[in-house]
Amino acid sequence: MAIIVRNTNYSGEVLEQLLTLAATSNEIVEKGLIMVIPGVEKKISLPRLKTGKMLQKRKENPGVEDSKGNFNYDEKSLDPVDFMAFTVFNPRTFENIWRKWQPKGNLVFSELPPEAQNALLAELAKRVQFELGDHYVNGEYGDDDDHLFNGILTQMTKDTEVIVVDSAESTMLGRLKAMRAKIPVAIRNNPDLRILMSVNDFDKYDDELTQRESKNTSETDVNARRYKGITIETLAAWPDDLIVCTLCSPDAGGNLFAAVNLQDDEDVIQIDKISNASELYFFKMLMKADTNIAFGEEVVVLDKRSNPVFKASEKKISVDPASVTLEATGGSEEVTVTASGEYEIGSAPAGFKVEATDKGVKISAGANSGSQKTGTLTLTLNADRSKTAKITITQNQKG
């Protein structure tokens, strides 16, 4: 990464630290809730490899028809987009800040001590990181300066597998109870599981805990930031009346990701005069960023805003046809599966073979010389395991 800082004696090493801070340091990062992947110039994939249920009773001679746990692979990506920080200022405005480092002589910015430059650029970096924090959460890519890149909430709205909770509860305790009931059992006890909410919403939750008679909590104390053992994290940029529960970690064990890069350009950062005769200077820093989630089915959302973006839709799974009959001579038939999200294919009934296809499942069997064979194949929706579809399979016996 090439860096240019013009007309200053600013330390390159400290500058590198400031740039990294400005690109990655904000509340959601500092709390370890998102994994930031630095140096992503173009595009990086988040590989998604999951399997279905594999364990089963031991068999002495398992065959292909006994196979369980199909490998499902697809991927999401982080695709950083360009934006910049830019401001114009007059160094003399801040003369009182750095006079202690420059006790005499005319103020000449090119001779400004590194300590003074540090004070100036640190403040600029603070503002950049504050704004980035809001974009990481609420960002939406568009054509104007307020829409720089998509934040994690925007990415969640695009994922059809996100679990949206529909609850009429008005209390925070009621809402959290409704959410916990929808958390997939597989991640319910994961130490990285977090509940994300606004500062105002946590204050409501805290007040509710304090007011409960059985709690008998002092009005001057703050209650634990937990619900049923799940840690609650608050973010200043988080919207009120929106609660999200998902895996959060600064490494790949979490579900929230961001890619950042300070553009590989000779003018990544510049501090220079607007023109030779001007007393005004400009500060410009070029960067890139993007966010995404890895698994929508590991996100539980309750949106009680006046205009909710996340709306609960019934999770469905169906098959066509619901019954398959194969001739005694063998053969196969394909069944179309319609599902709102990923689904798991159960174990094949004895004597039959089941394969996943682009449209659904393919059911086949070899020649049958014995009695008629029957069985049931169950498909289960990952996002809501109470939703299943069943296929009745029959193979006639030879005449």
DSSP output for 267-290: TSEEEEESSTT-S-EEEEEEEEEE
Single-letter code of the amino acid located at 42: K
Type of residue found at 330: G
Beta bridge partners of residue 257, listed in sequence order: 35, 292
For residue 281, name the pLDDT band (cuts at 50, 70, 90): confident
Q: What domains appear along the chain, each with residue ranges and CATH number? A: 12-47+73-213+220-303 (3.90.1690), 317-395 (2.60.40.10)
pLDDT at 385: 83
pLDDT grade for 192, boundaries at 50, 70 and 90: very high
Q: Which residue has the higher pLDDT, 115 or 201?
A: 201
Whether residue 263 has pLDDT greater than 60: no
CB atoms within 10 A of CB 257: 22
In percent, how much of the chain has pLDDT > 90? 39
Measured distance CA(343)–CA(351) in Å, rounded? 23
Per-residue pLDDT band for 181 (boundaries 50, 70, 90) equals very high
> Per-residue pLDDT for 392 more than 90?
yes
Buried b (16+ CB within 10 A) or exposed e, 194-221: bbbbbeebbebbbebbbeeeeeeeeeee
Distance CA 193, CA 248 (A): 6
pLDDT > 70? residue 101: no
Higher-confidence residue of 204 and 18: namely 204
Q: Which amino acid is at 382?
A: N
SS (H, E, C) 299-311: EEEEECCCCCCCC
Give residue 397's pLDDT band: very low, low, confident or very high (50, 70, 90).
Answer: confident
**pLDDT score recorded for residue 107:** 45
Tens-place pLDDT, residues 338-385: 998 888 899 999 999 999 988 999 999 999 888 899 999 999 988 788
* Residues 151, 141 contacting (CB under 8 angstroms): no
Averaged confidence pLDDT in the chain: 81
Q: With residue 48 as reference, give the H or E element that holds it.
A: strand 44-51
Tokens of 3: 């860096």
Cα(201)–Cα(207) distance, rounded to whole angstroms? 10
SS3 366: coil
Residue 226 to residue 39: CA distance in whole angstroms: 35
- pTM for the predicted model, two decimal places: 0.68
pLDDT: is 139 or 128 the higher one?
Answer: 139
Angle at 219 between CA 215 and CA 223, to 5 degrees: 55
pLDDT at 217: 55
pLDDT band, residue 57 (cuts 50/70/90)? confident
